[in-house]
Amino acid sequence: MFDVICVPVDGSEYGYKAADVAIEIAEKFSSKIAAVHVLEEFSFSSYDSEEDSGDAILAKITKKAAEHDVEVVEHLLTADALRDMKFIINQTGADLVVIHRFGSDNERFVSFEENSVSDHQIGSVTERLLRNSDVPVLLIN
């Protein structure tokens, strides 16, 4: 049913939860996973440290998937996740995207009244992908 399942991961607990669901689906349908981690084009951190962090995030997904005999192709890319995610997913050949609702930078979604993330909010990358994806998107809460 699904040949390639793309899972964008950012190192957050939400990203790993989405990866767990992607692994479950991949195991059931004998699919491959395209694990994608995007390094920001413009960052105050050194590229080497960002790259090391991204490699570690992807390795964690690959290790967990291997426990379930699921193949993972890691994609560590320098891009703008908000602008480029649709293109990245299309380039992976994915026929399903499993993505989390929030990202690692939840400060963008803080409610000024409650000073916490609302159950009705969604991350900017996820929101744009839901609107523009050419393939089905499974949103993990």
Residue numbers of the domain that contains 118? 4-140
CA distance 78 to 88: 11
61, 19 Cβ separation under 8 angstroms: yes
DSSP string computed for 2-69: -SEEEEE--SSHHHHHHHHHHHHHHHHHT-EEEEEEEEESS-SS-HHHHHHHHHHHHHHHHHHHHTTT
Overall average pLDDT of the 124-139 stretch? 89
Looking at residue 85, what DSSP letter applies?
A: H
Half-sphere exposure of 50 (CA within 13 A, CB side): 16
Closest CA to 36 of 83, 104, 80, 92: 92
24-59: pLDDT as tens digits: 999 999 999 999 999 876 666 665 677 888 999 999
Residue 111 has pLDDT above 70, yes or no: no
CATH of the domain at 35: 3.40.50.620
> What is the number of structural domains in the chain?
1
pLDDT band at 119 (very low <50, low <70, confident <90, very high): low
CA angle 2, 101, 117 (to 5 degrees): 170
48-106: pLDDT as tens digits: 677 888 999 999 999 999 999 999 999 999 888 888 888 999 999 999 999 998 765 54
Looking at residue 75, what DSSP letter applies?
A: E
Give the gyration radius of the chain's Cα atoms.
15
The pLDDT of residue 42 is 65
Q: What is the pTM of this model?
A: 0.83
CA angle 33, 39, 44 (to 5 degrees): 160
